[in-house]
Amino acid sequence: MQTKWKVVIGVTVVALAAGGFYASMKYNQRGIVTVQTGKVVRQDLASVVTASGEIKPRTYINLGANTMGAARITHILVKEGDRVRKGQVVARLESVQAEADVAAQKAAVGTVQAESAASEAGVRAADESVITAQASVERSKADLERAKIDFERTQKLVGEKLVAQQEFDTRRTALASAQAAVNEAQARVDQAKAQRQQTAASLNANQRRISQIQANLRRSTDVLDKYAVASPIDGVVTNLPVRQGETVVPGVQNSAASTIMTVADMSIITAEVKVDETDIVNVKLGQTTDINIDAMPNRTFKGHVIEIGNTAILRSTGLAASQSAVSSQEAKDFKVVVALDDPPDEIRPGLSCTAKVTTAVRPKVLSIPIQALTVRQKGDLEAKKDDKKDAKTPAVVDPVAEKARKEEIQGVFIVNGEKAEFHKVETGITGATDIEVLTGLKESDEIITGSYKVIRSLKNDTKVKVDNKAPATAGKTES
């Protein structure tokens, strides 16, 4: 019996000693947090903005009807995929009325031109009549002068009674006849000039009519030309939604009945993507871009930014924010156009794509994992005061000091001995998983990188235990 009790007592003593040792160890480990760590490393870092969109040609034109009303398609001269030249007629619309208007105006022009030619001939004839009548006046004036001289000579001779009275009367009659002939010739000149003025006025009126009718002809011809649909650019027919015999309606936006075909300039292919408003400030013209097309997996195409939109686009409606009648706080995007440097031949407009724009590159810079970065209020990092001493002093709240205590500081926790020590850091560009460190750390510093729950709640000067093999869910505070 004594041996049995000795064994029981011995086992009890050993159990009590083990329990005491375990309790002492647990007490000493009270408040220790298990963390995961990493090193501050120097590496090449690139900041990338990712956006999705679709493939589009740089220049494309939707050809529609420019007629005054609905028109029936009589001819489609191309098919989808055909290459067309600038000015090439690709379709024709029914144009009976327009052709009749052009023919009527051409006939009117011909009629007035004939009348104008007759008026020109009349003016020339009138000019000749004026010249002839003027010559007749000059001749009659010469006859009058000769008759006047003869009369004056005969008048002297009669006074000297050297000629008979009959001769004098004959000379006087001849003088009167010559004066009448001059008056008659001058009247014919005046008549010829009046007729010429009348004919010239008629010619001017015909010329004005010709100008007016030719203007109407140009208008009618322009209207007729609109019934022949021509390509304004060199390109490829990428969309042909209508068939011969269908009716198209001009001036109706976003209507299938208003578009005859789409011609695209496939020499410059772009990816038109929508970049989030928080990233657009980092995107610049000329930045290099990697484009992935969903229909062409495992292939990456190079490009560069050629256009950045200045108007925000509402994500829910796709409309410009400036067109919205109400103020909206919803997320917005900006259009960015990326030109593909070497597009493949099999590429098609409308293919979905993803663009990764490299906005900045930093070679050999200090960097840390993004998840290690956290924020703390300045007051939480200050040393705690003696609560008993403070209890004797009435609490006086200083608004300036209180605001300073609530100031948020960006930084990371580094492992200093067995404690977590908060260090303020300034950061630069952000990569896919790492972020550039400008100040506050040096290479090979050991920083706390996990877990997320630990970093979110960890306090300055907390005791820590490094366990980089622990699962992501580890890191609970033990007590």
Query: What is the C-alpha separation between 321 and 310, in angstroms, rounded?
Result: 11
Give the side-chain half-sphere CA count within 13 A for 388: 0
Kindly state which CATH superfamily the domain 269-361 is placed in.
Efflux pump adaptor protein, beta barrel domain (2.40.30.170)
Q: What is the pLDDT of residues 90-149, one digit of tens each?
A: 999 888 888 888 888 888 878 877 877 877 777 777 777 778 877 877 787 787 777 788
**Is there a contact between 187 and 100 (Cβ–Cβ < 8 Å)?**
no
- Side-chain-facing half-sphere of 258: CA atoms under 13 Å: 11
At 317-352, the pLDDT tens digits run: 878 877 765 666 788 999 999 999 999 988 888 899
Spatial separation of the C-alpha atoms in residues 414 and 428, rounded to whole Å: 19
pLDDT at 169 over 90: no
Burial of 103-132, coded b for 16+ CB within 10 Å and e otherwise, reads eebeebbeebbebbeebbebbeebeebbee
Domain chopping of the chain, boundaries: 28-45+366-466, 98-225, 269-361
The Cα 263–Cα 230 span in angstroms is 10
Does 30 score more than 60 pLDDT?
no
Domain 28-45+366-466, what fold?
2.40.420
Q: Return the residue matching tokens 């000749």.
A: 128
The whole-angstrom separation of Cα 49 and Cα 55 is 18
Angle at 426 between CA 424 and CA 428, to 5 degrees: 155
Check residue 275 and give its pLDDT.
Answer: 95
Alpha carbons 112 and 203: distance in angstroms, whole number:
10
Both structure tokens of 174: 């001849």
Q: Which residues of 390-415 are buried (b: 16+ CB within 10 A; e: fewer)?
A: eeeeeeeeeeeeeeeeeeeeebbbbb
What pLDDT shows up at residue 79? 92
pLDDT (tens digit, 9 = 90+) per residue, 210-236?
A: 788 888 888 888 888 888 899 999 999
What's the pLDDT score for residue 450?
83
* pLDDT single digits (tens) 414-434: 999 889 999 999 999 988 899
pLDDT of residue 434: 93
Task: Tell me the sheet residues that pair with 448.
Answer: 37
Contact (Cβ atoms closer than 8 angstroms) between residue 130 and residue 189? yes
- DSSP reduced 3-state for 339: strand
pLDDT surpassing 80 at residue 382: no
> For the chain, what is the mean pLDDT?
82
**Measured distance CA(168)–CA(152) in Å, rounded:** 9
Structure-block tokens of residue 423: 């260090």
Q: What is the pLDDT of residue 14?
A: 63
Query: For residues 195 and 119, is the Cβ–Cβ distance under 8 A?
Result: no
The residues near 352 (Cβ < 8 Å, ≥ 6 apart) are 52, 53, 54, 55, 293, 294, 295
- 131: which residues sit within 8 A by CB, 6+ positions away? none
Type of residue found at 308 = I
Are 249 and 65 in contact by the 8 Å Cβ rule? The answer is yes
Query: Above pLDDT 70, what percent of the chain?
Result: 84
Q: What is the pLDDT of residue 42?
A: 93
Q: How many residues does the chain have?
A: 479
| pLDDT above 50 (res 379) | yes
Res. 7: pLDDT tops 70: no
On the 0-12 / 13-18 / 19+ scale of CB atoms within 10 A, 271 is: buried
Is the CB of residue 315 less than 8 Å from the CB of residue 368?
no
Q: What is the value of pTM for the model shown? A: 0.61
C-alpha span between 215 and 472 (Å, rounded): 84
Q: For residue 69, what pLDDT is reported?
A: 74
Task: State the alpha helices, DSSP H only, in 79-232.
Answer: 96-159, 165-225
Indicate the CATH number for domain 98-225: 1.10.287.620
Q: Which residues contact 311 (CB under 8 A, 6 or more apart)?
A: 320, 321, 322, 334, 335
Residue 387 is predicted with a pLDDT of 46
**pLDDT confidence bin for 479, thresholds 50/70/90:** very low
Where residue 193 falls among pLDDT bands split at 50, 70, 90? Answer: confident
Residue 477 has pLDDT above 50, yes or no: no
Q: Determine the average pLDDT of the residues in 24-31.
A: 50
288: pLDDT strictly greater than 70: yes
pLDDT digit string (tens) for 234-269? 999 988 888 888 888 876 544 555 788 999 988 889
In the structure encoding, which two tokens stand for residue 449, read together? 């990188």
Residue pair 199/119 in contact by the 8 Å Cβ criterion = yes
Q: Read out DSSP for 45-102?
A: EEEEEEEEEEEEEEEEEEEE--SSS-EEEEEE---TT-EE-TT-EEEEE--HHHHHHH
